[in-house]
Amino acid sequence: MNSQNSADKTNKAIYDRACNVLTGGVSRNTIFRKPHPYYVASAKGSYITDIEGVERIDFANNMASLIHGHSHPAIVDAVTDQLQKGTAFTMGTEAEVAFAELLIERSGRFEKIRFVNSGTEAVMTMIKTSRVYTNKPKIAKAEGSYHGTYDYAEMSQTANPGNWGDIDKPNTIPVVEGTPQGAIDDVIIFPYNDIERTLNILDQHANEIACVLIDPVPHRVGLFPATNEFVEAIYNWTRKNNSLLAFDEVVTYRVNYAGAQASYTVNPDLTALGKIIGGGFPIGALAGKSEIMEVLDPRGKILRHPHSGTFSANPISTTAGRVAMELFDEKAVLSLNTLAMKARYQIEESIKIADVPVSITGAGSMFRMHFQANAPTSYREAFQTKKTKDLINEFIDYLFLKENIIMINTCACMFATTLTQKEVDRLSEAMLKGFKLFKPKLEQLSY
């Protein structure tokens, strides 16, 4: 047995133990950092204290999933109450129904919902539902966009200059070695926000595309919104070609009260949800038009898309999610977006004062820094060389270790309602110090 006395309670000691039982010492690569990850002792609101007693301000919020920060009392109380009644059953619960009712009323665009256990699973179910409904095999997605880890959804999220091909016909690049060629062949890649090129590419596969998958503010592409003209063009193309417009709002549902899709003049046919709708617990959901969602209906004469999941719609996640979304009302959404915009403005001022080649993109309560003078407008413009990635990692480590600031490893912030002007001021001050310190290296990137 491993001794767990106080002498072992260091981040390094825990990581040494982890390496004996976990591949690479971690179960998700997002927490890995050299020389070792750091381990949480407790968290409250927007502050996390690690195992060695160091307190940090959290601007990552578990990869955008915690809209109310850590250990929100209303969520804790609701979940604690449900825990006494049970956590998962081979029966339905009213918690599932109540949460579905809330989300449908909130969005005004959803007609039916199915709950799953993650954003990846939501996107996977959305793609499979699209195939069943249209009887077509292929999907189209934007170069660089992240949609989870389903084989088809993850194509070309890491495409680089050495393999991405001509912008008029981008290559479909798998992420994982050994991905079947059949999966590669069934994904069509288009350049985000480029209407003419995208329509030309889609036209070449018009009879085969089940859905066009869009993240309305794609983090990996560069965290800038899709234009209304682009979304309208894709929508009109799908109407013409018996295809579906599928939105991935796993991250972006926080942008407006009814999701980022509320910013557009057309509605998606299907929407994948996750992250903030779980209130800090694992969840995903597929929402959309009744006619399309009917392929999942077990009452049909022919069950076209058998769908289940041991923990889907469990009452812990649906209870926590319902309370979280009730708290994230229209006033809270507006207030949080305003605070994030204030933070963005202050960081832009820090960039000017430090006179460094850095730009910011974002929407709603999230934004991302780019180590380049002009904000990117495409994945290829936002693409980071190894030299840039290394500098970003060094900068993130500086903020984490010296300024006690936690950010997403792309140099992005995903705000929670527990943040205040106090934390925003700390963030902009830390960024200014970092920009000044890293100025020589930042300037070298532009040469």
Residue whose pair of structure tokens reads 């295809």 in the numeric block: 243
Radius of gyration of the chain (CA): 22
Cβ proximity of 368 and 219 under 8 Å = yes
Of 232, 196, 239, 205, the residue nearest 216 (C-alpha) = 232
Cα–Cα distances (Å) from 130 to 138, 244, 340, 360, 420, in that order, read 9, 7, 35, 35, 42
Residues 137, 312: Cα–Cα separation, whole Å: 26
Q: In which element (H, E) is residue 291 found?
A: helix 290-293
- The catalytic residue positions are 146, 248, 275
Residue 288, classed as helix, strand or coil, is: strand
Cβ proximity of 216 and 252 under 8 Å = yes
Indicate if the alpha-carbon torsion angle 157, 213, 165, 152 is positive or negative.
positive
Which residues are CB-neighbours of 260 under 8 A, at least 6 positions away?
A: 216, 217, 225, 247, 249, 252, 253, 363, 364
DSSP 340-387: HHHHHHHHHHHHHHHT-S-EEEEETTEEEEESSSSPPSSHHHH---HH
